Amino acid sequence: MSGHVVSVKNYVLIFLALLALTALTTGVAFIDLGPYNTMVALAIAGCKMMLVVLFFMHILYSRNLTKIVAAAGLLWLMILLTLTMSDFATRNWTPEPSGWNAGGKSSGAPAPAGAATAPSTPATESH
């Protein structure tokens, strides 16, 4: 029965790379990059995953079928996340129940929430 044998040296190198990435991602957490913090953290996690999957789990040396199975799992996870978020992320796009015009200004315009960037009232423009 055959199977690809990876050398000990390579395994150790991979391990060191993984440790380095762990240190890196922890370090980045101490720097304020705004929303990019999360992206960097996830990108690094993705790299670490690839290292483990490709070498420790021998995907690099596996049949295409195995690769497809592994990829399918990830793809389906993406489907779950994307379509779920498609609801939550677009809910406020619709004009809210604002038809009733009592009080309130001329507003109620069906402006997406995202478009209302600059605060326009003195009321909310704090100090």
Partner 1 sequence: MAESQAVHAVHAHQFEDLDQQHDVGTLGMWAFLATEIMFFGGLFAGYTVYRYLYLPSFEAGSRLLDIRLGAINTAVLLGSSLTMALAVRAAQTNKRKALATFLVLTMILGGVFLGIKFVEYAHKWEHHLVPGLHWAPDAEEVAQIQGLKPGAAAPQVELFLCFYFFMTGMHALHMIIGFGIMTVMLVLSLRGRFSSEYYSPIEVTGLYWHFVDIIWIFLFPLLYLVGGRY
Partner 2 sequence: MLLKLPFQPDQASTIAEGVDRLYLFLTFITLFFTAIIFATIFYFAVKYRRRSDDERPPEIEGSLPLELAWTLIPTLLTVVIFVWASSLYFRNARPPRASSEIFVVGKQWMWHLQHPEGPREINELHVPVGVPIQLTMTSEDVIHDFFIPAFRIKKDALPGRYSSIWFEATKIGTYHFFCAQYCGAEHSGMIGWVYVMSPADYAQWLANNSSGETMEAAGRRLFNQVGCNGCHSESSSATGPSLKGLYGQSVRLADGRTVPANDDYLRGTILTPFKQRVAGYPAIMPTFQGQVNEEQILQLIAYLKSLGPEEGKVKQ
Partner 3 sequence: MSATIAEVPIESRVHYLNADYGIRSWLLTTDHKRIALLYLASITFMFFIGGAAAVLIRLHLLEPQGALVQPETYNKLFTMHGVVMIFFFLIPAIPAVLGNFLVPLMIGARDLAFPRLNLLSWYVYVVGALFTLAALLTGGVDTGWTFYTPYSTTYSNSNVILVGLGAFITGFSSILTGLNFIVTIHKMRAPGLTWFRMPLFIWAIYATSIIFLLGTPVVAITLALLALERLLHVGIFDPKLGGDPLLFQHLFWFYSHPAVYIMILPALGVMSELISCFSRKRIFGYSFVGFSSMAIAALSFLVWGHHMFVTGQSVYAGLVFSALSFLVAIPSAIKVFNWTATLYKGSISYDAPMLYALGFIGLFTMGGLTGLFLASLATDVHLNGTYFIVAHFHYIMVGGTIMAYLGGLHFWWPKISGRLYPDGWARFAALIIFVGFNLTFFPQFMLGYLGMPRRYAVYPPEFQVLNVMSSAGASILGVGYLIPLIYFIWSLRYGPPAGPNPWKAKGLEWQTPSPPPTENFEEIPVVTEEAYAYAAEEKHGG
Residues in the site for ligand HEC, rule: CB under 6 A?
Answer: 123-124
| Binds partner 3 (CB under 8 A): choice among 38, 94, 98, 101 | 94
| Binds partner 2 (CB under 8 A): choice among 68, 71, 72, 116 | 116
C-alpha separations of 107 from 22, 49, 82, 92, 120 in Å? 50, 49, 32, 16, 11
Question: Which partner, partner 1, partner 3, ligand HEC, none, binds residue 94 by CB below 5 to 8 Å per kind?
Answer: partner 3
Question: Cα separation of 51 and 14, whole Å?
Answer: 7
The helix/strand/coil state of 101 is: coil
Six token digits for residue 97: 């129940």
Question: Which partner, partner 2, partner 3, ligand HEC, none, binds residue 1 by CB below 5 to 8 Å per kind?
Answer: none
Long-range contact list for 113-116, CB < 8 A, 24+ apart?
none
Look at the block and give the residue holding tokens 């939550």: 88
Give least dist CB 93 to ligand HEC, A. Answer: 21
| Binds partner 2 (CB under 8 A): choice among 22, 38, 90, 98 | 98
35 near partner 2 (CB under 8 A)? no
| Binds partner 2 (CB under 8 A): choice among 8, 35, 87, 125 | 125
